[in-house]
Chains A and B, each alone.
Chain A
Amino acid sequence: MTSLLVQPTGAAQAPTQTRRRGRGGILVAVLRNRKASIGLGIFVVFCLLAAVPQLFTSVRDPNKLAFTPSETPSGAHWLGTTALGQDIWAQLVYGTRQSLVIAVAAGLFATVLSVLIGVSAAYLGGVADDVLSLLTNVFLVIPTFPLIIILATYAGKGTLLVVLIVLVVTGWSYGANQLRAQALSLRNRDFLESARVRGERRSYIIVFEVLPTMTSLIVANFLGAALYSVLTAAGLQFLGLGDPNSISWGTMLYWSQNQQALQTGLPLWSIAPGACVALLGVAFALMNYAFDEISNPALRPVRRPRVRRVHS
């Protein structure tokens, strides 16, 4: 989870980059970057699974105890069946949707919140900045996972909505901190000064002048927040704090742990959903890191040993 800290060190270069590249440039840059295209590829596959699970399995009700329990992988059941008699592959396919929705929705809302708080703190300055950045720092430091566990317990075993709210409330602070720093560095740039001189309203300047220059950082933040949400939601459900009847990877992990899948010779039951969580997390992390490389050329992989000769 420390990967959340791996975000633009040289973010200040971002605006000039995006401006020079123009429309469609980001997409081309993403496709050219190997890490980004692998990440994007995994993400697209999961999106497909989430959108049309019927295409990938003949089972229609994956939670129904319809099969012989504890079967090993075979042609009929690609990954075997659970100790309760469900098809593991079908559960995996149908579970994609909830895990993906949690990741994207929580990531999106958390990013919106960090943009709102981070950018307004930097732009308003003065007391408003002091209050908002104090709030950000407090949320940044308070250990969120114990808080999430406690929140989810009090709110009754979490429905999807509870899990989402909890993830957003605890996930926005890191991004807000970064966006504030970035917006602060933009504050006294000429193009903002000229907008001010033109007599534009503050809201106009923030939305149409400041935000577009921060696109790459905002996207990076979304990816970071989505990664955080995938891992945290799965962890929460794994501990049994989600809805035990829902279909998701975390819930599968909960039941497999509950039934001692590892010790009873059904390792796939717990390794497979965990691997999916990991893959989705890796997809977000790869895209995030690649974005960092795209917006900060200094970090790009060096192909020729030219630089080395200079250094040594």
Chain B
Amino acid sequence: MKFLLRRLGFFVLTLWAALTLNFFIPRMMPGSPLNALRARTHNKLSPAALQQMLTAYGFKPNQNWFVQYLDYLGNMLSGHWGISIGATLGTPVSKLIGQALPWTLGLVGVATILAFALGSLIGTVSAWRRGGKVDSILPSVFVVTSALPYFWVGLLLILVLSLWTGGLLPSDFNYDNSLQPSFTLPFIGSVLRHAILPAGTILITSIGGWILTMRNNMITTLAEDYVRMGRAKGLPNRQIMYGYAARNALLPNLSGFAMSLGFVISGSILVEYVFNYPGLGYLLYNAVQNTDYPLMQALFMLFTVAVLLAVLLCDFATAWLDPRARAKG
């Protein structure tokens, strides 16, 4: 219980730190958001509307900064994320995010979990068959793939599988624009076809890390006494491999999974940009291009919350699976 409380405390503290960074960065950096906003909305909006928007943004330069800060924290946590001041002028930020979120969750979420599961499995097998054919090539190959830049793999896939095949696989957007979103077969098929290349990019670049860490963990675990004991008892290989070794080797990987989510998010921004995939990463890119401060702030908070939630969940899972973690807390 103490362990869980500590982790919860860490969650709250990190969230606070991220939100605080998010608040102070624009205020410390050269170039005033206010001027950028004025320039952007020069002719489109009345001074009153501009004022209202600034208030929603939480930017009241004349007010005590501490009051501003408290207001900002309250707004962020209660979902009052303000109104977009970029290309999608006047749309509530929460609506924009609501539209983009499912696409990112579907694409990046599924690809990441797939990479983790597949990578751990391949790593387990590779360590088990130490010195076998698979194991002698695998590490080198995946050291290479895990060092490839996300966007380059994306560009390469577009070139080879989309352009050279005469558009066999689409390289743009999330579904065919001529279709109406609905739960029909053609629409779902179109969504899946559009997801193949971006998901493949994420899979290729992220699977290597899982294979290598899992392999290395497995090798260390296989030298443990309880594995030898299992062998001495004459347990079937399959049981020793999955039930004895892999179960324990997976534990450090699990916390690595949560930590790596930050990397995956970074990668997915580039992937979504390369494929014009209208998810959160693409939204962030557009927000940056249009100096859309409220949208940027809300997105950054969301990304942080996502990683933190994953870390928290993995902590809980570790505490549930590993008695040692419970005892240590």
Contacts and interface: CB of A to CB of B under 8 A. Distances in A.
B172 to A, nearest CB: 10
Contacts of B284: 146, 149
Contacts of B144: 282, 285-286
Contacts of A52: none
Contacts of A76: none
Nearest to B151: A238
Contact of B131 (A4, A143, A156, A304): A304
B220 A298 contact: yes
Q: When A and B form their complex, which 8 residue pairs have the shortest distance between CB atoms, in order from nearest? A: A2-B209, A145-B266, A302-B131, A274-B152, A154-B29, A3-B146, A285-B147, A281-B147
B266 A299 contact: no
A285 B146 contact: yes
B278 interface: no
B3 to A, nearest CB: 15
Given A2-B209, A235-B270, A277-B149, A150 B300 contact: yes
B156 A147 contact: no
28 contacts: A1-B263, A1-B267, A2-B206, A2-B210, A3-B208, A3-B209, A5-B259, A134-B10, A140-B259, A142-B14, A142-B307, A143-B265, A146-B269, A154-B26, A234-B149, A235-B150, A235-B151, A238-B151, A239-B270, A253-B151, A275-B152, A278-B152, A282-B143, A285-B147, A299-B219, A301-B131, A301-B135, A308-B129
Interface string A105-148: 00000000000000000000000000000100110111111110
Given A277-B152, A311-B222, 10 more contacts: A5-B209, A138-B17, A141-B262, A147-B300, A150-B296, A232-B266, A239-B288, A285-B143, A298-B219, A299-B219
Contacts of B147: 3, 227, 231, 278, 281-282, 284-286
Contact of B304 (A4, A143, A231): A143
Nearest to B171: A262
Contacts of A151: 25, 29
Nearest to B146: A3
Given A3-B212, A150-B300, A281-B148, A35 B220 contact: no
Nearest to A10: B220
Interface residues of A, number: 65
A255 interface: no
Contacts of B210: 2
B256 interface: yes
Nearest to B296: A150
A267 interface: yes
Contacts of A145: 262-263, 265-267, 269
A54 interface: no
A137 B14 contact: yes
A150 B14 CA distance: 18
A231 B149 CA distance: 6
Nearest to B115: A2
Given A150-B288, A281-B147, A289 B212 contact: yes
Contact of B25 (A154, A231, A281): A154
A289 B270 contact: no
A312 interface: yes
A143 B303 contact: yes
B208 A307 contact: no
Interface string B15-47: 001100110011001110000000000000000
